[in-house]
Amino acid sequence: MTASAPRGFASDNYAGVHPEVLAAIAQANSGHESAYGDDSWTARLQDLVREQFGEQAQGFPVFNGTAANVVALQALLPPWGAVVCAESAHIHQDEGGAPERVARTKLYPVPTPDGKLTPELVEAQAHGRGFVHRAQPAVVEIAQVTELGTVYTPAEVRALADHAHGLGMALYMDGARLANAAAALGTSLRSFTTDAGVDIVSFGGTKNGALGAEAVVLLNPEAVQAGPEGAGKAVEYLRKSSMQLASKMRFVSAQLVALLTDGLWLRSAGHANAMAARLAEGVRGLDGVTLTQEPAANQVLAVVDPAVADAVRCRYAFYDWDASRDEVRWMTSWDTTGDDVDGFIAALRSALAAAG
């Protein structure tokens, strides 16, 4: 079990745990602490969440990104509500029907050229309000970074928030790669979430060096279908009923505390983005390689002949993205090195040359 697997470009989930995160888990493993979130690490996490997202923000640790999406959507949806999302959205394509099965909601997907919604695209599905035969559009869901590796600017998020709120809908942001978006934009987390009108956002840790830790971050309590105990308590109840309340929560919170301390989240994401930029520049212009989106964060999408792709895959793991048009996806991580990228480019050049 000591041999390491070959490094690759399949997913930032393939990367290991950042040493500072592991150290935080070990540090949390001292003595007894209260269970279910009433511990010093989770309390510290709340301070850090408020520093990043504003004084009103509340963070609720969960185990994974699908859970964060499901808990957040449940908090924003009435029983008759539906979600408008991009057709490429993770909640639509890659979560095994969890939003429908667990949150019991209808998804209204909208085709987009770049994975990003606009107010005009939202209008394609935000209709039928008051029509009893149609699930009522109640939430607009966007991802930051999107599944196509694109990034919303703060102004684009604000336009969506204003449009959604004008329709009586909430805005939820899937932030599995939120840190990569902030690094790409060169701005604070708050600038394109709280200040841009987002109601709930998830903060992803797992893809950015954590062992397994995400957080649902409540930004606007008024958007939640809450009882007399308040919106925060409503999210807590939903987290428990969604099987996401960690008994030894300090070990989940400690990972997020480590990321949010001294800018580790931003340094790691910025490095991953830089490695993707290096990869994109290295393959740009190669005969037989066509970039299909301009890389903004830590993802590169390209069209490559399947035989070439398979030849490179003998050395470096990566996924097909859209096999119907020979599109592949290359992901970089917090621990991707320049040598990894240069070796991959060399292998791709060699495979292209061999294919003639």
pLDDT number for residue 7: 84
Residue 36 lies in a domain: yes
Segment 10-69, tens digit of pLDDT = 999 999 999 999 999 999 999 999 999 999 999 999 999 999 999 999 999 999 999 999
Task: Determine the structural domain holding residue 315 and report its residue range.
Answer: 264-354
Domain closes at, from 260, 284, 300? 260
Domain harbouring 126, CATH code:
3.40.640.10
Q: Is the pLDDT of residue 81 over 80?
A: yes
Mean pLDDT of 126-150: 97
pLDDT for 289:
97
Q: Choose the final residue of a domain: 260, 282, 301.
A: 260
The total of structural domains in the chain comes to 2
* pLDDT reported for residue 351: 97
Percent of the chain with pLDDT over 90: 96
Q: How large is the average pLDDT for residues 322-336?
A: 97
Q: Given a cut of 80, is residue 205 above it in pLDDT? A: yes
- What's the pLDDT at 3? 56
SS3 state of residue 37: coil
- Proportion of the chain above pLDDT 70, given as a percent: 99
pLDDT digits (tens, 9 = 90+) for 30-41: 999 999 999 999
Is pLDDT of 207 > 90? yes
Domain of residue 336, CATH code: 3.90.1150.10
The reply to whether 3 falls in a domain is no
Among the candidates 226, 260, 294, a domain finishes at 260
Long-range contacts of 210-213 (CB under 8 A, 24+ apart): 210/17, 210/18, 210/21, 210/255, 210/256, 210/258, 210/259, 211/17, 211/21, 211/22, 211/25, 211/255, 212/63, 212/64, 212/252, 212/255, 213/61, 213/63, 213/252, 213/253, 213/255, 213/256
